[in-house]
Structure 1
């Protein structure tokens, strides 16, 4: 990990321009809500301006050449929703679909919005299991539309049971920030090809059970845990079926407020207040033992640095925040006792605030009542951080290097 920066007062020219442009943009956005500032001919031009489509460049989802069975899960206008409970809806299994074997299942989040608004983080959960973590686009007065399509086939077993759908998008509407997000949430079930018959096919390769490692409803926020500093630990207890033979922990991560740009943070001897440097890792423990660590991708949200950089193409991962898989199968032998166990999360060097939760994907041996396992070898070294700085006055470079190794055999 390489990090080069200077204190705020000595920002490089291009960054100074970005922040200046950002300030000008927000000031202009505030003014355009006062109609007295418009010339009549400008009003006419804006009325004829088409809605802008925003998008993220991603790899297309490969779907079978079968007609999907689709239905609308939720239709909602997210206005002033900050600090309120998530929007809930009843999810029922796709019993209306002619075919009950699906090769691909796709979640579609489609939004229109106009006005002025900040970027807002949001999440979609089914039965407490997170399906999507994303960021809203920053709208313009003439209106925008964007669509996020995510392959959620790995949640197959979850989708075959009635559940409670929860969506949290904390938005604030004022006389200046007027944008309301008009959301349609749809799921598309693509039938397996006829020639698959009754064979296992792609739809048989996913986990038999998915357990939420997230906060429980009811609450006035997202279902994610909030990590507020480097010593904060959030956890969730669970019980695993005794006939499990594989387990994978899928972890969702997003970073905000003082740590939104953590990869640009200065070492503490160069910053006031302390910024804890440019290294972060999400540490995951099982019953107090570290089982894995995540070095998160540096997602830049749609308002990052300057909103004009992300119109209409958004930053990588901003619409599709990645999740991270930790293989916990080697540890199954220690938790197949029918007793309660606990996953916990912390963030090295964290500042306020990180949103983290997880989904435990479990594969079951249907021919066995109880499986057996043993942890044979487990080793995780602490992260060794090396920092070299070279400054002349207030300008300089900082090189941060981190080494860590992990190995588990069961």
Structure 2
């Protein structure tokens, strides 16, 4: 793990947090209630046993709703290659499972190298029987992370699931000669947890016709440099950030003829910060951001989508339809092209990550995507303007007893940079801007036993200039969570959970697939009934609406609902007529 340096957080926000820490010494009971947002494997097993119709259940297929991946018209393939097959048993705190990788022969046969690939799909297919928590896994090729997700949490009859991820952007990595594939899934086997995760990893390649080639705006990067830890190690290749002052980093050099640079960031939260969006002021509050540091300066920020793993809040909610991003976690792009003037000096530069208000633990790494000038051995550049004011925000308590009441948090950040790069394409200026806002309310009642959380993250990113890579991206992550119950102190009790979560996105810009909209929303609820501390009943339901519209005609809509393990209806349409105009 790289050495840490001081994290220059917002002084205002830290002062507010410190003041509130002094005010919340009496909220230990509420803190304990807030941690009661994860049911144990034994709890869920008791629910299964209490419902006779579920006792002899066969293997269940869990799924995350996403649009199907289809190659562009005129593509050939697929050419499919099994990369890895492994049973992940006692793998916690052990080295990643590795396998030698060579580009499939069909890639060479297609001609054109990486640019011949029209679509690359990485398929993760797995199953598990027995008792086990969900586990986080990551897949790296040559040190570049290709996929991160959580496993399904199994049930007695077994569970199976499949993830298909578009990895076309990594075409240069897939074509780059011999390298090492690494997969980490930290599983634990003991007297109580015996579930083994059996996984197969397969690469499917499709190829464009010789007459078609990607436009300059849509072509994948010519080089991808990993910003991750190197093997050997007894963990994943991600950096681990455990507190708000820690900066994890690595040093790298950039090819002399680079003319564009985009950093793709992977991030996931764990341990005390798994449910960061529910944290109280004495737990550093509910706001988190990942800041990207270049030679000590903040050059970008990621305000993460609140991924809920398949064992989170109440595992029943995510059966069989799993939470948004749980099997295939989202990544986040930070445009570093304005800073290429600094990176093109032939020297090593430090690229690192910090997490504002972090508690243990955050897993962060990244891939630096670079586009190279094929007609020049060297490019040059310079930074014109750079503005990264400190984070602003507040946490406000409206409580008379230090437990029940309303706790509000807000945050905002703006970052902008303009730089030029001179290449065979001419002198091109690029401006990168981020405008980020966060609003959160947590209403606590019944002496800390009930919480209602409303939260929205808004992220607006623009890449503008006189080059071909212009883009506007607006993302919105609404979240509502209710935790409560009734019958406290009596022989009969109901434990209730409700989650409403959304991932909304609008893109506009240059390239073959320049514009798109996505509306992805889930509404889910679960109720467990106890009598004399024994589970006597349970019910849960999920409804999800997924609507995607693309300017290339690649539209898809899906409306699916489940009650218990049964899917009531599942309507999908691969037509732009089925998507909502917003």
Native 8 Å contact 2:38 2:313 kept in 1: no
> 1 or 2, which has the higher strand percentage?
2
The alignment of Structure 1 onto Structure 2 pairs a total of residues equal to 383
Matches within 5 A, 1:9-24: 9=29, 22=39
Q: 1:358 aligns with which of 363, 366, 370?
A: 366
Cα distance between partner residues in 2 of 1:236 and 1:173: 33
- Aligned with 2:345: secondary structure? coil
Asked if 1:56 corresponds to 2:64, the answer is yes
Native 8 Å contact 2:128 2:154 kept in 1: yes
Give the deviation of 1:338 after TM superposition: 0.8
Asked if 1:230 corresponds to 2:230, the answer is no
Asked if 1:185 corresponds to 2:222, the answer is no
Native 8 Å contact 1:209 1:361 kept in 2: yes
Cα distance between partner residues in 1 of 2:216 and 2:259: 19
- Aligned with 2:261: secondary structure? strand
- Aligned with 1:67: secondary structure? strand
- Unpaired runs of 5+ residues, structure 2, are 1-25, 420-582
Q: 1:323 aligns with which of 331, 337, 361?
A: 331
Cα distance between partner residues in 2 of 1:78 and 1:305: 25
Asked if 1:197 corresponds to 2:207, the answer is no
- Aligned with 1:397: secondary structure? strand
Provide Cα deviations, 1:281-329, integer angstroms capped at 9, x if missing partner: 1111111111111111111111101111111111111111111110000
Cα distance between partner residues in 2 of 1:124 and 1:217: 13
Cα distance between partner residues in 1 of 2:157 and 2:391: 49
Q: 1:81 aligns with which of 77, 91, 108?
A: 91
Provide Cα deviations, 1:160-205, integer angstroms capped at 9, x if missing partner: 022100000000011221110110000000121x3x5153469970
Cα distance between partner residues in 1 of 2:37 and 2:106: 54
Q: 1:387 aligns with which of 364, 371, 395?
A: 395
Cα distance between partner residues in 2 of 1:188 and 1:10: 49
Q: TM-score, normalised by structure 2?
A: 0.62
Name the structure 1 match of 2:110. Answer: 99
- Unpaired runs of 5+ residues, structure 1, are 1-5, 269-274
Name the structure 2 match of 1:249. Answer: 263
Matches within 5 A, 1:299-338: 299-338=307-346
Native 8 Å contact 1:19 1:306 kept in 2: no
Native 8 Å contact 1:30 1:177 kept in 2: no
Native 8 Å contact 2:285 2:395 kept in 1: no
Cα 1:27/1:104, change in 2 over 3 Å: same
Cα distance between partner residues in 2 of 1:364 and 1:291: 22
Name the structure 2 match of 1:264. Answer: 278
Cα distance between partner residues in 1 of 2:387 and 2:332: 20
**RMSD of aligned residue pairs (Cα, Å):** 2.6
Cα 1:276/1:21, change in 2 over 3 Å: closer
Cα 1:220/1:203, change in 2 over 3 Å: farther
Q: Which has the higher contact order (CA 8 A, sep 6+)?
A: 1
Give the deviation of 1:267 after TM superposition: 1.1
Cα distance between partner residues in 2 of 1:70 and 1:204: 24
Name the structure 2 match of 1:271. Answer: none
Cα distance between partner residues in 2 of 1:255 and 1:339: 33
Name the structure 2 match of 1:111. Answer: 126
